[in-house]
Structure 1
């Protein structure tokens, strides 16, 4: 991870300080990725011990966010970076917010496990969440890799995966509504599944944001409100 492209992106004038911040960001990304992995495993297996560890991890994630934010503000105020250094600091300030929110969503999934008091969701519902969770975890991992590598083309490919996650959410919502209509005893369990699926859908949205920040870092364009075709033109140099 220390040899990643982003770790050598900044100028020598900021080498030591920015290097430390970048490493902290990458550590935070790794921690939250594991937090989401563990939260999904805890939910699928009904593992309360693992769920509690996920909840306990959230404080570490918050500490990373505050520490990184303070160091970035210090650089902006005292050193007034320009060009690519400024773009890197601004990107970091944006990305840590999305990473922290993913951590919050993982914590919330884990808390559902800790709050379960009745019968667990059935195997079909668990399978739906497992399938969506796998897709979401892959998207997040690849989004973080595109950020670390500063690879705009990879980032564009990854952010387009969000549509499949949205489709997963819509499918789970339909299935859950059917369960509830057929048997009112399914309402509690189905609502739980809907909430977890919604959390995963939001993780996909945050992963998409991370990809957009990677494009900004690499190409210097704010693509937050750009269409996929517009982003393709920016990345290919046809802007």
Structure 2
């Protein structure tokens, strides 16, 4: 079982520093994207177009952070040729980096839908579904990043399991929104925008679950993607 102190056992102090830096830079990027997600949902609900436009304009900052982290990882791979747990850390950072950047993209999409909804006028749904699922996936993202920071595999497994709940909530929300459209055709425009925002939130839940799966790989060296039950898979591996 991998622990935090395992990354502080290298002969080269500089190597220790490099590994710690890529982790810190990734978590900094994650915190920035988490904030943008929360603000994007709030901007939509409050019809605050100025905040929404600011979120969209800040997306390039996340893109720059992604490229910087990729460059740092490439440098470590080339210079240090890491093995075992160190290699898993660098590989995990590269993969999580991509998921975080894509969450930033989805947050920007939500902000764009918020601007369009502000032009449409009042929402017949009062954004009930947006508020609920937005809060849920933001919590998942926070816990996934926390699991990565603390190498907490149990928390990571919980996040992966939560994604199934988000998928069910998303399906229920879409059925509810279709009902609103059928009741009054004037609702079609705003409801379609909400549907696109909900789609982005559902994808963010997927990316948060991906991050959690990478944590399991980092801690245990197990690839748990596409497993119906992560807990059962881990138990089977432990019994071998």
TM-score, with structure 2 as normaliser: 0.91
Instruction: Measure, in 1, the Cα distance between the counterparts of 2:100 and 2:106.
Output: 10
Tell me: CA distance 1:232–1:19, structure 2 relative to 1, closer, same or farther (3 Å). Answer: same
After superposition, the Cα gap between the structure-2 partners of 1:48 and 1:76, relative to the gap in structure 1 and judged at 3 Å, is same
Q: 1:9: which partner in 2? A: 7
2:60 corresponds in structure 1 to 59
How many residues end up aligned between the 2 structures? 233
The 3-state SS of whatever aligns with 1:211 is: helix
* Cα distance, 1:231–1:29 mapped onto 2, change above 3 Å: farther
Counterparts of 1:154 and 1:234, CA distance in 2: 19
Q: What do residues 165-189 of structure 1 show as CA deviations (whole Å, max 9, x unaligned)?
A: 1111111111111111222111111
Which residue matches 2:49?
48
Partner of 2:122: 120
Which residues of structure 2 form unaligned runs of 5+?
A: none
Distance in 1 (CA, whole Å) between partners of 2:102 and 2:39 is: 16
Unmatched runs of 5 consecutive residues or more in structure 1? none
The residue number in structure 1 matching 2:39 is 38
CA contact (8 A) 2:116 2:193 kept: no
Shift of residue 234, structure 1, vs aligned partner: 6.2
Task: Describe how 1:49-198 pairs up with structure 2 within 5 A.
Answer: 49-116=50-117, 117-122=119-124, 124-198=125-199
Q: Give per-residue Cα distances to partners, 1:27-54, cap 9 Å, x unaligned.
A: 0011000010110110111111111221
Give the secondary-structure state (helix, strand or coil) at the position aligned to 2:122. coil
Alpha-carbon distance in 1 for matches of 2:58, 2:6: 29
**CA deviation map 1:79-106 (0-9, x unaligned):** 2111111010000000000000000000
**Aligned Cα root-mean-square deviation (Å):** 1.7
Which segment is superposed worse, 204-213 or 5-14? 5-14
In 1: Cα distance, 2:190 partner to 2:239 partner: 50
TM-score (ref. length: structure 1): 0.91
1:156–1:231 contact (8 Å) kept in structure 2: no
Q: Which residue pairs with 2:232 in the alignment?
A: 230
Rounded to whole Å, the distance in 2 between the matches of 1:211 and 1:127 is: 27
3-state SS in 1 of match to 2:82: coil
Q: Secondary structure at the match of 1:81?
A: coil
